[in-house]
């Protein structure tokens, strides 16, 4: 709050000076007030235009592959929800040539509109990847744009994955420079920074030079998407989709010489000034191409709020180790972090959506089925008699000693035997990332019932070998419903 | 600045409360801190969905007609500039069916993309209408969306003009509620408020009910366009075009039931909180359908910065009254407001664009030709020997007694005779609006060389009788190059 109180008047003062002077930052760690910021827009444009694909470290290449794989599963998994269906109905009459498929659907649209719809599908279940430092969902805007565009204009796997990597890198770094103040103002950071990532990625596969890439960044800056007031409505998932589309259009305009400010991010009356009360531009520019934010990407193992994940993890571990029959269970004693009951305290969920806000349902369904994917949060799952009986036996108590990524569970059977699991770091957390095998299981769970199993496996295979594909457009084509 | 320092911490405080509570406003004239704002989003949605066309007062109907006519001239006049050309080149490969013509051009695009390009054309010369209280250019986003959409789906002139009226009204009122703080943050207010105007107008011709119109407003809120850092680049004119397109898409999505927040403008983490440090919601909601901001719309008579307009007005008046031959003029003594030499002090312009920043050129070309439309600011006009000779004879001095809409000019001939004009309120200013005849001359000047004269006259005629047209789509079709 001290930062906010300081920073806004500083911007007001700059206005009295007039002219196209850069905005100063006043927060700790940022440049001293009044000093010129680095040429952020041009620095990231140069990086986006020239970062060599063959210098991405192996670990980052691997994380980029996992990011793609997780995102493709999400895009298929959410494709039959209401939101993408409504978007297709609205956009189809205006769509251009059938340049790109939609994940999990039969329609084809022009590339920018396909990017929009796929972005919606990939985020609608809140099951996509998370850059934990900023809560950005990095893949949404970038992969939505790239998978659609690669069907219109062939791109090698190497170029595609390099563009995905640098696009995610740019959005996460811009996010780091303004988080949390930007987020606290009301912005949904995935949409506001995602447009830069999508523009950089598409600009890169278009081969934009540094000046045109700078214009693409400028055109991206002028089209931020997303307010947090939309959470709980279809418009939340619109944000990564529209960011993808806006970014693609930005790159296409820049390719034709459509000019924009060269200092659109850091300049006076620019993105940073308008959209945040603090900017630490070093977060954007330092170590570009050396350290990778994308390497910190995480994936949700379970299709509900992240605070429930340690408890679900405990339930699945306990089931895998002991195979208790639901009918044999007398009680389930759960110790959780205080936020859990705050956010997930619904004791009698009546719908699948309500189930996502019930730690009792989440634990019960995980004990019964050993899974907590999208199928665990359907209306049917919430009404399943075995699950209902078991969820009434869950006693959750808050324990301040339990950390956010921890949970403690003791199951007592009717015969008096007890089983205990303590989760130190939940699966999917920074210190216990999902394994490749867990990502595969999540992927197959998401595509189940939408794509035929053999097609899902082919799609999975394309994702694993994405860096070496001849034609990355195959991913989007294979992901469509036949 | 006091407002800014107060308002931002107020928003930060609200965050600690959590939940979807409305943002409070702290500025004078706004509701007291902590009190709930009115349901702004729903109020304007109700107005947009239901304001009866036959209750628009005659004077407002007339001003709406003049707004349309002026805007159509601008859209034709700017259509051959680089910016719309580059946009067409970028967008054409992705465009849908040829649903709508482009003003002054031969290509056709799908309706949303046509709206984007026409919005660019209409603003690229900075010659369009101005709502002086907010510096919003009201017609750009709304008319760009409507003229394109009416070619796709037939709309009567009455419905079209009512939608234009309420769209402009909504964007200007939202602008009033946040100006100047919103503008000072860096936002280009035409794009950020224009998206609401376009969404309301298209939502209205689609016949959206109140709930769907509310969603359309919510979808508009989440897609603001435009930063002032872009001024001086192609991206400035992108703003009204993209606002038109975003607004149209918002309405089309809402029509299909795509949900958004019902409190997207005034709510916690909503548009007002994120995009301004002050919100006086009464400016939006009071007297809706009774007093009209559109009635205050103004039109630029001359194709350059508004500070030069009094001097140009003086030159044209002097020429019309006395018809001095340029060769007979010995000197031109001009007294101007201080801002004039600050903004227009270029003594030796070399290009048409530089001519727009030269009071010396502007006065000379007006004395020679009696006009100061787009043709007065071409490279050829700036290099014309008669104009060059005359501009060297202009002596401009700053006089603090001269108000912004005033100028004092004395022309002395070689034979010693003098001619004097004092302009009390320049033509086009609030107190001396352009006459219908002047609007017609501006229109014909803008379309000259782009449309055949008889086609220009037919287009003009369609604009004058817009409220009674059977099919308002005729306007966009007639405005295209054959």
Binned at pLDDT 50, 70 and 90, residue B34 comes out as low
Would you state the pLDDT for residue A482? 80
User: Where are the CATH 3.30.1330.120 domain residues in chain A?
Assistant: 306-423
Instruction: Give the C-alpha distances (Å, rounded to integers) separating A304 from A290, A344, B111.
Output: 34, 10, 39
Distance from CA of B224 to the nearest CA of A (A): 7
How far is Cα A159 from Cα A142, in angstroms, rounded to an integer? Answer: 13
Q: Which of A90, A112, A187 sits opposite B258 (nearest CB)?
A: A90
Binned at pLDDT 50, 70 and 90, residue A357 comes out as confident
Predicted TM-score of the model (pTM): 0.90
Q: Which residues of B touch A267 (CB under 8 A)?
A: 229
| pLDDT (tens digit per residue) in A296-322 | 999 999 988 888 999 999 999 999 999
Residue A172 structure tokens: 């996460």
The mean pLDDT of B98-123, rounded to a whole number, is: 98
User: Touching check for A13 and chain B: CB below 8 Å?
Assistant: yes
State the DSSP string of B87-141. HHHHHGGGB-S--EE-BTSS-EE-HHHHHHHHHHHHHTTS-S-EETTTTB--HHH
Q: Which residues of B touch A230 (CB under 8 A)?
A: 218, 222, 260-261, 264
Q: Which residues of B touch A252 (CB under 8 A)?
A: 90-91, 94
pLDDT of B325 higher than 80? yes
Q: Which residues of B touch A222 (CB under 8 A)?
A: 188, 191, 225-227, 230, 235, 238-239, 242
Residue of higher predicted confidence among B16 and A71: A71
Residue of chain B nearest A95, judged by CA positions: B96
Distance from CA of B39 to the nearest CA of A (A): 14
* 8 Å CB contact of A185 and B274: yes
pLDDT of A254 higher than 80? yes
Q: Is B409 helix (H, G, I), strand (E, B) or coil?
A: strand
List beta partners, residue B412. Answer: B331, B418
The answer to which of A406-415, B194-203, B211-220, B428-437 has the lowest mean pLDDT is B428-437
Q: Does domain B40-301+463-479 fall into CATH 1.20.140.10?
A: no
∠ CA B287-B37-B275, nearest 5°, is: 95
| pLDDT (tens digit per residue) in B289-303 | 999 999 999 999 998
pLDDT of B411 higher than 80? yes
| pLDDT (tens digit per residue) in B346-367 | 999 998 888 988 999 999 999 9
Residue of chain A nearest B10, judged by CA positions: A1
Would you state the pLDDT for residue B10? 32
Would you state the pLDDT for residue B1? 25
Q: Which residues of A touch B231 (CB under 8 A)?
A: 269
Would you state the pLDDT for residue A35? 74
The mean pLDDT of A412-417, rounded to a whole number, is: 96
| pLDDT (tens digit per residue) in B179-204 | 999 999 999 999 999 999 999 999 99
Taking one residue from A and the other from B, the number of pairs with CB-CB distance under 8 angstroms is: 229
The mean pLDDT of B140-165, rounded to a whole number, is: 98
* 8 Å CB contact of A4 and B12: yes
Backbone phi, psi, residue B394, to 5°: -85, 120
The percentage of residues in chain B with a pLDDT greater than 90, rounded to a whole number, is 85
* 8 Å CB contact of A233 and B277: no
Q: Which of A191, A234, A274 sits opposite B187 (nearest CB)?
A: A274
Q: Which of A196, A225, A250, A258 to mutate to test the interface with B (most CBs of B within 10 A)?
A: A258
pLDDT of B17 higher than 80? no
Binned at pLDDT 50, 70 and 90, residue A34 comes out as low
User: Residue A480 carries which DSSP code?
Assistant: B
Residue of chain A nearest B230, judged by CA positions: A261
Distance from CA of A421 to the nearest CA of B (A): 33
Helical packing angle, B210-221 and B234-255, nearest 10°: 150
Helix then strand count (H, E) for chain A reads: 22, 8
CATH number of B306-423: 3.30.1330.120
Q: Is A131 left (phi over 0), alpha (psi -120 to 50) or beta?
A: beta
Measured over the CA atoms of residue A27, residue A28, residue A31 and residue A33, the dihedral's sign is positive
Q: Which residues of A touch B256 (CB under 8 A)?
A: 86-87, 89-90
pLDDT of B18 higher than 70? no
Binned at pLDDT 50, 70 and 90, residue B429 comes out as confident
Q: Which of B4, B219, B233 sits opposite A9 (nearest CB)?
A: B4
Binned at pLDDT 50, 70 and 90, residue A354 comes out as confident
Helix (H), strand (E) at residue A429: none
User: Touching check for B183 and chain A: CB below 8 Å?
Assistant: no
Q: Which of B222, B227, B273 sits opposite A185 (nearest CB)?
A: B273
Mean of per-residue pLDDT scores for chain B: 92
Binned at pLDDT 50, 70 and 90, residue B98 comes out as very high
User: Where are the CATH 1.10.4100.10 domain residues in chain A?
Assistant: 40-301+463-479
Q: Is B370 left (phi over 0), alpha (psi -120 to 50) or beta?
A: left
The percentage of residues in chain A with a pLDDT greater than 90, rounded to a whole number, is 85
Residue of higher predicted confidence among B77 and A3: B77
Touching A: B residues 256-315, CB under 8 Å: 256-261, 263-264, 267-271, 273-275, 277
Would you state the pLDDT for residue B370? 94
Helical packing angle, A210-221 and A234-255, nearest 10°: 150
Instruction: Give the C-alpha distances (Å, rounded to integers) separating A159 from A139, A295, B138, B207.
Output: 16, 18, 43, 46
Residue of chain B nearest A180, judged by CA positions: B12
Please state the ipTM of this predicted complex.
Answer: 0.90
* 8 Å CB contact of B94 and A110: yes
Helix (H), strand (E) at residue B422: strand B418-423
pLDDT of A3 higher than 60? no
pLDDT of B15 higher than 90? no
| pLDDT (tens digit per residue) in A192-234 | 999 999 999 999 999 999 999 999 999 999 999 999 999 989 9
The mean pLDDT of B382-390, rounded to a whole number, is: 97
Touching A: B residues 215-234, CB under 8 Å: 215, 218-219, 221-234
pLDDT of B31 higher than 50? no
């Amino acid at each position: 709050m001290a930062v906010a109180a300081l920073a806004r008047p500083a911007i007001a003062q700059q206005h009295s000076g007039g002219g196209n002077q850069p905005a100063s930052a006043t927060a700790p760690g940022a440049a001293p007030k009044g000093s010129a910021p680095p040429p952020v827009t041009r620095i990231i444009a140069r990086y986006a235009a020239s970062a060599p694909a063959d210098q991405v470290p192996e670990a980052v290449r691997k994380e980029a592959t996992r990011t793609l794989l997780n995102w493709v599963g999400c895009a298929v998994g959410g494709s039959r929800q209401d939101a993408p269906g409504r978007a297709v109905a609205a956009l189809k009459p205006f769509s251009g040539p059938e340049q790109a498929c939609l994940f999990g659907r039969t329609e084809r649209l022009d590339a920018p509109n396909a990017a929009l719809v796929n972005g919606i599908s990939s985020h609608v279940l809140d099951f996509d990847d998370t850059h934990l430092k900023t809560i950005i969902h990095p893949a949404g805007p970038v992969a939505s744009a790239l998978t659609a565009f690669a069907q219109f204009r062939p791109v090698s796997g190497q170029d595609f994955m390099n563009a995905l990597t640098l696009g995610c890198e740019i959005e996460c770094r811009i996010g780091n420079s303004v988080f949390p103040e930007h987020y606290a103002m009301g912005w949904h950071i995935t949409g506001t920074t995602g447009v830069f990532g999508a523009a950089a990625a598409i600009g890169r596969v278009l081969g934009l030079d540094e000046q045109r890439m700078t214009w693409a960044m400028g055109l991206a800056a002028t089209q931020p998407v997303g307010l947090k007031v939309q959470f709980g409505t279809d418009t939340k998932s619109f944000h990564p989709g529209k960011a993808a589309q806006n970014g693609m259009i930005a790159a296409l305009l820049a390719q034709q010489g459509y000019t924009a400010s060269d200092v659109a991010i850091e300049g006076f009356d620019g993105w940073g000034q308008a959209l945040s009360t603090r900017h630490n531009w070093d977060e954007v520019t330092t170590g570009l191409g050396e350290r990778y934010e994308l390497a910190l990407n995480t994936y949700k193992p379970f299709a509900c709020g992240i605070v429930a994940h340690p408890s679900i993890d405990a339930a699945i571990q306990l089931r895998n180790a002991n195979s208790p029959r639901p009918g044999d269970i007398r009680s389930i004693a759960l110790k959780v972090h205080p936020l859990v009951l705050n956010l997930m305290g619904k004791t009698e969920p009546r719908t699948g959506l309500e189930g996502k806000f019930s730690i009792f349902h989440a634990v019960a369904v995980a004990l019964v089925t050993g899974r907590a994917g999208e199928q665990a949060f359907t209306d049917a799952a919430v009404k399943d008699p075995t699950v209902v009986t078991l969820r009434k036996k869950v006693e959750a108590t808050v324990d301040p000693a339990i950390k956010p990524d921890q949970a403690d569970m003791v199951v007592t059977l009717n015969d008096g035997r007890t089983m205990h699991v303590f989760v130190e770091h939940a699966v999917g957390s920074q210190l216990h990332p999902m394994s490749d095998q867990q990502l595969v299981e999540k992927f197959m769970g998401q595509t189940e019932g939408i794509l035929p199993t053999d097609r899902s496996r082919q799609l999975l295979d394309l994702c694993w070998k994405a860096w070496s594909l001849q034609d990355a457009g195959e991913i989007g084509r294979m992901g469509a419903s036949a």
